[in-house]
Amino acid sequence: MSDLKVVNFMGYARIAAIASVIFIVVSIGALAVKGLSLGLDFTGGTSIELEYAQAPNLEKVRSELVGAGYPSAVVVAYGADTDIMVRIQGDAANLAEEISAVLNNGQHDVTIKQSSFIGPQIGEELRDDGGLGMLFALAVVMVYVALRFQFKFSVGAVAALVHDVIVVLGVFAILGLDFDLTVLAAILAVIGYSLNDTIVVYDRVRENFRIVRDMDVPGIINYSLTQTLGRTLMTSGTTIVVLLALFFVGGEMIHNFATALLIGVCVGTYSSIYVASAILLWMKVTHEDLMPPKVEVEGEEFDDLEGIEGQERPPF
Amino acid sequence: MNRYPLWKYLLLLVVLGLGITYALPNIYAPDPAVQVSGYSADLKVDERALKQIEKALTDANIAYKSAVLEESGSALVRLTALDDQLKAQKAIEDRFGVLKRKNEGDKYIVALNSAQTTPQWLRDLGASPMNLGLDLAGGVHFVLEVDTPKAVTDRLLDSEDVVKKAIREARIFDVKVSIEKGVLTVQAPTEEAQLQLSNILRDELPRMQRKSSTENGQFMIRAKLAEDAIHEIEDHAVSQNLTTLRNRVNELGVAEPLVQRLGRNRIIVELPGVQDTARAKKVIGKTANLEFRLEAKPDAGFAQREKFSHRQEDMQAMTGGSYLERRPIITGESVTNATRGFDPETSQPQVNISLDADGGAAMHRATRSNVGRRLGVLFIEYRPSTRKVKEADGTIRTVVDTIPMKNIISLATVQSALGREFRTTGLSEAEAGELALLLRAGALAAPMVFVEERTIGPSLGKENIELGVKSIKLGMILVVIIMLLYYRVFGIAANIALAFNVALIAAIMSPFATLTLPGLAGIVLTVGMAVDANVLIFSRIKEELKAGMPPQSAISAGFDRAFTTILDANITTLIVALILFGIGSGPIKGFAVTLSIGILTSMFTAIVVTRAVVNLIYGGRQVKKLSI
């Protein structure tokens, strides 16, 4: 084992812990102070995406709507410069048609690209269901990991997931991005992805705990992380590449979805190393925790495994 | 070493062949089309109407590929250009508008559609392209909420009437009946009356829970609906509204409408290809359309009678229409239920009709002195009628009116005075089913409100597909390049597995799943994550090689050892995907479905297909060095 270039990941655990705490505090702070800018799906109301023949003047559109008796209408540019998005709170189901009638009443050539009306009650339900679904996913994962591995591992895995979710939400709050149903789906996908990453690392940790005898616990964790680093980077790399494709060419409707996943995949990769694994260390995981219920040890020697040069991954 | 037996290769080839075959229809782009269908099921588009359609298109200079009659009784016109769709719809509508007589409703619905171009041999195998969700096809999506508490309150008010009537008939005086917060309270003057009333309640309202008590010298009976009775009323209200909505939606002539119950008291309506939301909402939200009228006496004056045609063609041919009284006894709003059943004695089919208290009383008044006369049921459909109006300034404006079309659906002799529950016999089984359906279709069991509405324009749908496909292509090309550069020969194996994976996802999704925009994103994401299993296996092989293992054993060990990791990692992701499916609606469900399918297929392709390709390349021979 001596000539292994094991990257001393856990040597930076303290710094990473401080960084993670800062991320979380900043994220929760942003969520508390600024709050998520909840999309239509969760707040209820009406939104209409309109396409003009020529790029419209947003100020003029706004004043037209105020003049027609919709003082609360929010008009923003959306996608191409001929497109605008109008948002109005309220629970009247016919707003979309009324608004397009108002805006069409001139020389403009306006067509409705899409319109949505969500009743306030539905919004509230989606919000509750979404939150519940997230908690439920975490609970099920915790049980599964506890059964397949051990309780300390499930604490680490869930802590990593909670960390990822909070940071993604925090970034959305800080940047003021719209949080709608697709973003919620993205966050659940992040949970899936980050978990995938964590499980791969844990699997290796478990294996090494069973077959490597002459290493202390931080050593084994470092050794496992080094062994899986190549795979971690490769998979994150390919996933990030396709997400970038979605981000740049996928279109306006899934832009925020891609953004949430991009942030999530980066944070998830970081957390599987510095949250999930570091927690194992702090919970003082021991060889006894992982004594196999069934013997499958083959006594392999990993003599000259060449570690991949460890580069510290930035958290974002 | 590292050789698959022949049967494994053959099995893989079969799976691959099936996958490609069933994914194939997706590469044939659909033709833009217009579909012409009759307003009612028995009104079919015939050769003559088809000639008119063709003429309308030729006159308007619109090129079309084909115009054929379909088995369902509608006509399908395939066009060459998407831009012609709206023009063609207008041309055909105008043509039929010119042809029709005055004050006649439009006979045909002209709807935008897209026609699949899958070759016949593929269709014979049952292969079809994926259904596109609304966000990709364009259209409207409504969620309506049924006011079930109203249905329950109505039932309670009904019960109050029934009880009051029974009390009057039993000649018990000084009784107060009231309803408060879902509880029916009966206050009796004496203990004896209380017992008597309790018996009346038991007989008249068997579904209610009763409790007698004495409070401050007052003799009370409190009754409320049992929990399962409330559930039943709610269920009935929602399913009746569902039936009604289906009938109304059919009037819109949409190619593939979806009307589905959502949760306890909501209904989803999805109308792909519909652009005119205002009209769709009008049709969906329209009210009662049934009338019960007595047949006019032969000596009735012109002012008292009105002639109607029969909905059934044989009846119409036989009688040429029948005269009914002008004044309806009750309308469809009074019908609370109608079911097909069988006479317990003769086993003949019959329709059981239930009315509400007011309706029952009116029916009783009208029929008790008219036993032996016939009672007719009129079914009223509202059809749009398009006409051109010349304005004062000379411009021509199109006006769409809704005109009621009234037809007799049943004309039966009254055998005895009818009440709240009665039956109609003398029908065939199919007729009884149809009549029950039409009777139920009349009114809504409870009012509904729109709680969600989304409209996606057709251009946006098209844009979404283009962008989605573009990002899948781009993402895939990038992943393929990375894998090739990093893993060389093994990268080729992984890439073959990846292509196989995408084909399998498409093949599995085509017959039953609906593709949405988040679903497309799910496929893109799967492409990125699918290589993960291969990456795990390949890094394992690399490790084993570095540990000094000979190449063939390293391949074998790599695949074996990576397996548990792949399984663990994918099962946890699958759990999350399933939860996503459980909580999500519409588009989110689409994402969960593609993600789940992707996880399963990618496990199969990454482990089995990659192994097969690697075995083909390296298996069964001396290998000194692996290109990995």
The answer to whether residue A305 scores a pLDDT higher than 60 is no
User: Distance (Å, rounded) from C-alpha B73 to C-alpha B46?
Assistant: 8
Nearest to A190 by CA among A256, A264, A249, A242: A264
At CB < 8 A and 24+ separation, what contacts does B316-323 make?
B322/B295, B322/B376, B322/B408, B322/B411, B323/B295, B323/B296
User: Distance (Å, rounded) from C-alpha B441 to C-alpha B147?
Assistant: 18
Nearest to B454 by CA among B237, B208, B138: B138
- B305-310 vs B396-413, strand pairing mode: parallel
Residue A233's H or E segment, with its range, is: helix A217-249
Using the Cβ of A118 and the Cβ atoms of chain B, whether some distance falls under 8 Å is answered with yes
Q: Are A195 and B572 in contact (CB under 8 A)?
A: yes
CB contacts of A251 in chain B (<8 Å) are 463-464, 467-468
The ipTM estimated for the assembled molecules is 0.81
Residue of B nearest to A50 (CA): B457
Q: Are B2 and B615 in contact (CB under 8 A)?
A: yes
Measured between CB atoms, which of B281, B459, B467 is closest to A251? B467
Using the Cβ of B567 and the Cβ atoms of chain A, whether some distance falls under 8 Å is answered with no
User: Distance (Å, rounded) from C-alpha B242 to C-alpha B446?
Assistant: 11
| Beta strand residue intervals within B414-447, DSSP E | 421-424
Nearest to A172 by CA among A264, A109, A94: A264
User: Distance (Å, rounded) from C-alpha B377 to C-alpha B331?
Assistant: 9
| Beta strand residue intervals within B283-348, DSSP E | 290-294, 305-310, 322-325, 330-331, 335-342
Measured between CB atoms, which of B467, B518, B531 is closest to A185? B518
Using the Cβ of A238 and the Cβ atoms of chain B, whether some distance falls under 8 Å is answered with yes
Query: Domain B288-430, what architecture?
Result: 2-Layer Sandwich (3.30)
Which sequence spans correspond to the domains of chain B?
Answer: 6-25+459-618, 31-115, 149-229, 288-430
Q: Which two tokens stand for residue B140?
A: 């409207």
Q: What is the pLDDT of residues A213-235, one digit of tens each?
A: 888 888 999 999 999 998 999 99
- CB distance A117–B453 less than 8 Å? yes
- CB distance B580–A204 less than 8 Å? no
Residue A165's H or E segment, with its range, is: helix A151-175
CB contacts of B456 in chain A (<8 Å) are 113-114
Which sequence spans correspond to the domains of chain A?
Answer: 9-39+122-290, 45-118
Query: Domain A45-118, what architecture?
Result: 2-Layer Sandwich (3.30)
Q: Which two tokens stand for residue B270?
A: 């999805």
Could you tell me how far CA B151 lies from the centroid of its own chain? 23
Torsion angles phi and psi, residue B433, rounded to 5: -60, -45
Rg (CA), chain B: 33
User: Distance (Å, rounded) from C-alpha B54 to C-alpha B96?
Assistant: 12
- Give residue A20's identity as a one-letter amino acid code: S
- B421-424 vs B349-355, strand pairing mode: antiparallel
∠ CA B428-B431-B434, nearest 5°, is 155
User: Distance (Å, rounded) from C-alpha B219 to C-alpha B90?
Assistant: 71
Q: Please list, residue by residue across A187-219, b when 16 or more beta carbons sit within 10 angstroms of its beta carbon and e when fewer do.
A: bbbbbbbbbbbbbbbbbbbbbbbbebeeeebbb
User: Distance (Å, rounded) from C-alpha B388 to C-alpha B397?
Assistant: 6
Q: Are B85 and B37 in contact (CB under 8 A)?
A: no
What pTM did the predictor assign? Answer: 0.74
CB contacts of B140 in chain A (<8 Å) are none
CB contacts of A203 in chain B (<8 Å) are 564-565, 568-569
Angle between helices B47-59 and B84-99 (to 10 degrees): 120
Mutate to test the interface with A, among B262, B282, B565, B570 (most CBs of A within 10 A): B565
Q: Are A152 and A276 in contact (CB under 8 A)?
A: no
> What is the homologous superfamily of the domain A9-39+122-290 according to CATH?
Multidrug efflux transporter AcrB transmembrane domain (1.20.1640.10)
User: Distance (Å, rounded) from C-alpha A160 to C-alpha A276?
Assistant: 5
Q: Which two tokens stand for residue B184?
A: 């029916």
- CB distance B478–A245 less than 8 Å? yes
Residue A14's H or E segment, with its range, is: helix A13-33
Torsion angles phi and psi, residue A178, rounded to 5: -70, 130
Strand, helix or coil for residue A116: strand
- CB distance A302–B547 less than 8 Å? yes
The secondary structure of B144-211, three-state, reads EEECHHHHHHHHHHHHHHHHHHHHHHHCCCCCEEEEECCEEEEEECCHHHHHHHHHHHHHHCCCEEEE
Mutate to test the interface with A, among B281, B466, B471 (most CBs of A within 10 A): B471
| Beta strand residue intervals within B525-609, DSSP E | none
pLDDT at A99: 79
CATH topology of domain B6-25+459-618: Multidrug efflux transporter AcrB transmembrane fold (1.20.1640)
Q: Which residues pair with B352 in a beta bridge?
A: B339, B423
Q: Are B561 and A204 in contact (CB under 8 A)?
A: no
Using the Cβ of A139 and the Cβ atoms of chain B, whether some distance falls under 8 Å is answered with no
Q: Please list, residue by residue across A224-250, b when 16 or more beta carbons sit within 10 angstroms of its beta carbon and e when fewer do.
A: bbbbbbbbbebbbbbbbbbbbbbbebb
- CB distance A242–B470 less than 8 Å? no
Q: Which two tokens stand for residue B327?
A: 């004044």
The secondary structure of A176-207, three-state, reads CCEECHHHHHHHHHHHHHHHHHHHHHHHHHHH
CB contacts of B584 in chain A (<8 Å) are 133, 181, 185
Question: B532 to each of A222, A243, B5, B565, how far by Cα in Å?
Answer: 22, 15, 27, 11
Q: What is the mean pLDDT of each run of 10 residues along chain B (628 residues)?
A: 86 91 86 78 78 91 89 85 83 80 68 81 86 81 86 81 82 84 85 86 84 84 87 86 80 74 87 72 65 86 83 80 87 78 84 84 89 86 67 66 76 86 80 74 71 80 84 90 93 92 90 80 79 91 91 92 88 84 72 88 91 89 83
> What is the homologous superfamily of the domain B149-229 according to CATH?
YajQ-like, domain 2 (3.30.70.990)
At CB < 8 A and 24+ separation, what contacts does B365-368 make?
B366/B294, B366/B329, B367/B414, B367/B416, B367/B417, B367/B418, B368/B417
Torsion angles phi and psi, residue A57, rounded to 5: -90, 115
Q: Which two tokens stand for residue B203?
A: 């007989």
Using the Cβ of A126 and the Cβ atoms of chain B, whether some distance falls under 8 Å is answered with yes
How confident is the model over A154-168, as a mean pLDDT?
94
What is the CB neighbour count within 10 angstroms for residue B224? Answer: 18
Q: Are B528 and A247 in contact (CB under 8 A)?
A: no
Does 3.30.2130.10 match the CATH number of domain B31-115?
A: yes
Using the Cβ of B66 and the Cβ atoms of chain A, whether some distance falls under 8 Å is answered with no
Nearest to B93 by CA among B112, B80, B73: B112
pLDDT at B398: 63
User: Distance (Å, rounded) from C-alpha B233 to C-alpha B151?
Assistant: 7
pLDDT at B420: 84
Angle between helices B517-546 and A255-271 (to 10 degrees): 30
Owner of token pair 């999704």: B509
User: Distance (Å, rounded) from C-alpha B208 to C-alpha B184?
Assistant: 10
The answer to whether residue A265 scores a pLDDT higher than 90 is yes
Q: Are A251 and B520 in contact (CB under 8 A)?
A: no
Residue A282's H or E segment, with its range, is: helix A278-282
Torsion angles phi and psi, residue B198, rounded to 5: -60, -40
Using the Cβ of A137 and the Cβ atoms of chain B, whether some distance falls under 8 Å is answered with yes
* Count of residues making up chain A: 316
User: Distance (Å, rounded) from C-alpha B549 to C-alpha A305?
Assistant: 12
The answer to whether residue A142 scores a pLDDT higher than 70 is yes
User: Distance (Å, rounded) from C-alpha B413 to C-alpha B58?
Assistant: 53
User: Distance (Å, rounded) from C-alpha B573 to C-alpha A61?
Assistant: 46
* Count of residues making up chain B: 628
- CB distance B568–A115 less than 8 Å? no
- Give the number of C-alpha atoms closer than 13 A to the C-alpha of residue B309, restricted to the C-beta side: 8
At CB < 8 A and 24+ separation, what contacts does B118-122 make?
B118/B24, B118/B25, B118/B28, B119/B28, B122/B21, B122/B24, B122/B25
Q: Are A308 and A229 in contact (CB under 8 A)?
A: yes
Q: Which residues pair with A154 in a beta bridge?
A: none
